[in-house]
């Protein structure tokens, strides 16, 4: 049965890791890794997680389970191809087995990159596209420290090609981690700007997956829940950063948005955002926050009715309203939320220039996320969206 036939017949495949969620759940990491066969787990993290003390706590739990972990942390935001290569070299040298990532999306993407190379060989850039990694990879345990990327439950791995200054998208069901551990305590140590960016990333995941050409009833439920949770709780985590109830709600939003987009994929906002991030090493969620209102307006012409439910979930009074009007209200609501959490109004503030637009549009057309956008987009359409967002 082809994918098209399956969709016509209402067949849904829903992929998800084993989920461990709740206050103090980081303590489950040792048991989780051991169940996957770990003896010498390879822990990928970054300097911020080490400084916050979470890496030490994780290493303690792994050792308590009788394991001998190896720590690697030479990573910067938006993981680079050479960083993944260096991490993999250390993995091989250390004789490690199960891969454990603790951190934000960059850490988790780098950890997935190591696993891809261990199972498939070659260079990480060889795997850009869909289902290019065809051989089994080491087991993955992912522990998010931010409330938005969803990388801990997704089939995506995003890596920067430093020679071309673009982000490549590696996508495949093999990249869905075996176990995801969400401990809301880890979110409290996020810097304010990262909290804002990842929260808007979760919102973008929810909205784009709900209108995606690949949406399905199971993913829809998680997408709508994520949108409502972000709209109700992101501001609270900015004004009351130590409030654990709000953090727990945003952790749930990130998790549900991740479950939605890994099964329904994404759209033009992410396809465009990846290119800006690759060019300028800009924060992914911030770029999403700038682009999303413009893409909502663009997509509303193709699937207006889907935006009524999204706008309602965001708390807007749209009952009985035409879809395009509801989409406009949602676009304005997203922009107000971005204003409230300190996201710039235009891409120029991030360093994008008019001269960059044609090149960004060309590379956007090659991004896998664009394939499920509900409205077709030509190079001219994408250029127009970028210019509107400048």
The secondary structure of 185-220 as a DSSP string is GGGGGS-HHHHHHHHHHHHHHHHHHHHSTT--HHHH
Q: Please choose, from the candidates 76, 226, 205, the residue with its C-alpha nearest in 3D space to the C-alpha of residue 149.
A: 205
What would the CATH number be for the domain defined by 192-389?
Answer: 1.20.1090.10
pLDDT score at 55: 98
| Strand ordering across the sheet containing 129-130 | 129-130, 166-171, 156-161
List of residues 6+ apart from 321 with CB closer than 8 A = 308, 311, 329
The overall average pLDDT reported for the chain is 95
Instruction: Taking residues 185-214, report their average pLDDT.
Output: 96
Phi-psi label, residue 121: left if phi above 0, alpha if psi -120 to 50, beta otherwise:
left
**Is pLDDT of 6 > 80?**
no
Question: Is the per-residue pLDDT at 284 higher than 90?
Answer: yes
Residue 382 predicted with pLDDT over 60: yes
Query: Is pLDDT at 263 greater than 90 in this prediction?
Result: yes
Q: What is the pLDDT of residue 220?
A: 98
Q: What is the mean pLDDT of residues 38-48?
A: 97
Q: What does each C-alpha distance from 154 to 62, 240, 260, 264, 340 come to in angstroms?
A: 24, 29, 9, 11, 28
Sequence-separated (6 or more) residues with CB below 8 Å from residue 320: none
Instruction: State yes or no: pLDDT of 232 exceeds 90.
Output: yes
Q: What is the pLDDT of residues 221-230, one digit of tens each?
A: 999 999 999 9
CA diameter of the chain: 62
d(CA 265, CA 184): 25
Angle between helix 304-313 and helix 323-340 axes, rounded to 10 deg = 40
List the one residue out of 174, 176, 116 whose CA is nearest residue 141.
Answer: 176
The residue among 156, 232, 189 whose CA lies nearest residue 53 is 189
Dihedral sign, CA of 215, 221, 223, 224?
A: positive
Taking the C-alpha atoms of residue 226 and residue 228, their distance in angstroms, rounded to an integer, is: 5
Residue 174 DSSP one-character state? G
Identify which of 22, 35, 48, 32 has the alpha carbon closest to the alpha carbon of residue 105.
48
Contacts for 245 with CB less than 8 Å, ≥ 6 apart: none
Residue 1 pLDDT > 90: no
Q: What is the pLDDT of residue 204?
A: 98
Q: What is the pLDDT of residue 11?
A: 83
Judged on CB neighbours under 10 Å (0-12, 13-18, 19+), 336 is exposed
- Sequence spans of domains, the chain: 3-186, 192-389
Confidence category of residue 3, pLDDT binned at 50, 70, 90: very low
Rounded to 10 degrees, the C-alpha dihedral 353/266/128/387 comes to -10
What is the rounded distance in angstroms from the CA atom of residue 199 to the CA atom of residue 273?
15
Residue 277: pLDDT band with limits 50, 70, 90: very high
The reported pLDDT for the residue numbered 58 is: 98
pLDDT score, position 243? 86
Is the model's pLDDT at 332 over the cut of 80? Answer: yes
Find residue 374's DSSP bridge partners.
none
CA distance 296 to 294: 5
pLDDT value, residue 242: 87
**In the chain, what are the helix, strand and coil shares in percent, each to the nearest 5?**
60, 10, 30
pLDDT in tens, 103-126: 999 999 999 999 999 999 999 999
pLDDT of residue 10: 74
At 67 the pLDDT is 98
Q: Is 180's pLDDT higher than 90? A: yes
pLDDT-based confidence at residue 4 (cuts at 50, 70, 90): very low
Among all chains, which residue has been given the structure tokens 């990532």?
101
Question: What pLDDT, in 10s, does the model give residues 44-87?
Answer: 999 999 999 999 999 999 999 999 999 999 999 999 999 999 99
Residue 7 pLDDT: 52
Q: State the pLDDT at residue 12.
A: 86
Spatial CA neighbour of 46 closest among 247, 251, 258, 190: 190
- State the average pLDDT over residues 326-338: 98
The dihedral formed by the CA atoms of 313, 314, 317 and 323, expressed in degrees to the nearest 10 = -80
The DSSP secondary-structure symbol of 378 reads -
CATH architecture of the region 3-186: 3-Layer(aba) Sandwich (3.40)
The C-alpha torsion from 381 through 274 and 140 to 21, rounded to 10°, is -80
CA distance 247 to 251: 6
């Amino acid at each position: 049965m082809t994918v098209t036939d399956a969709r016509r017949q209402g067949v849904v495949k829903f992929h998800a890791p084993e989920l461990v969620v709740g206050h103090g759940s980081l303590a489950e990491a040792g048991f989780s890794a051991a169940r996957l066969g770990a003896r010498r787990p390879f822990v990928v993290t970054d300097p911020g997680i080490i400084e916050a003390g979470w890496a030490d706590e994780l290493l303690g739990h792994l050792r308590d389970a009788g394991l001998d972990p190896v720590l690697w942390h030479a990573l910067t935001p938006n993981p680079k191809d050479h960083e993944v290569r260096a991490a993999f070299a250390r993995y091989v040298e250390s004789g490690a087995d199960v891969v454990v990532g603790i951190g934000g999306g960059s850490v988790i993407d780098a950890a997935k990159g190591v696993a891809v190379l261990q199972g498939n060989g070659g260079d990480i850039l060889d795997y850009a596209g869909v289902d290019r990694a065809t051989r089994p990879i080491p087991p993955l345990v992912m522990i998010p420290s931010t409330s938005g990327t969803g990388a801990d439950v997704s089939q995506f791995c995003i890596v920067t090609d430093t020679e071309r200054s673009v982000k490549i998208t590696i996508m495949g069901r093999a990249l869905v981690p075996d176990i995801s551990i969400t401990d809301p305590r880890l979110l409290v140590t996020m810097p304010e700007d990262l909290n804002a960016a990842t929260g808007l990333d979760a919102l973008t995941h929810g909205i784009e997956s709900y209108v995606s050409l690949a949406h399905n009833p199971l993913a829809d439920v998680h997408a709508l829940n994520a949108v409502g949770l972000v709209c109700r709780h992101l501001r609270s985590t900015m004004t009351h950063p130590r409030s654990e109830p709000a953090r727990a709600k945003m952790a749930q939003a990130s998790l549900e948005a991740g479950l939605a987009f890994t099964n329904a994929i994404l759209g033009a906002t992410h396809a465009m955002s990846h290119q800006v991030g690759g060019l300028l090493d800009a924060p992914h969620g911030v770029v999403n926050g700038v682009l999303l209102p413009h893409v909502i307006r663009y997509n509303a012409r193709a699937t207006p009715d889907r935006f009524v439910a999204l706008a309602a979930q965001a708390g807007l009074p749209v009952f009985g309203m035409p879809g395009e009007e509801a989409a406009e209200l949602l676009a304005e609501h997203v922009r107000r939320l971005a204003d409230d959490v300190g996201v710039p109004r235009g891409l120029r503030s991030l360093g994008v220039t008019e001269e960059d637009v044609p090149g960004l549009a060309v590379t956007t057309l090659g991004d896998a996320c664009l394939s499920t956008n509900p409205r077709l987009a030509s190079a001219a359409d994408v250029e127009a969206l970028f210019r509107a967002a400048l």
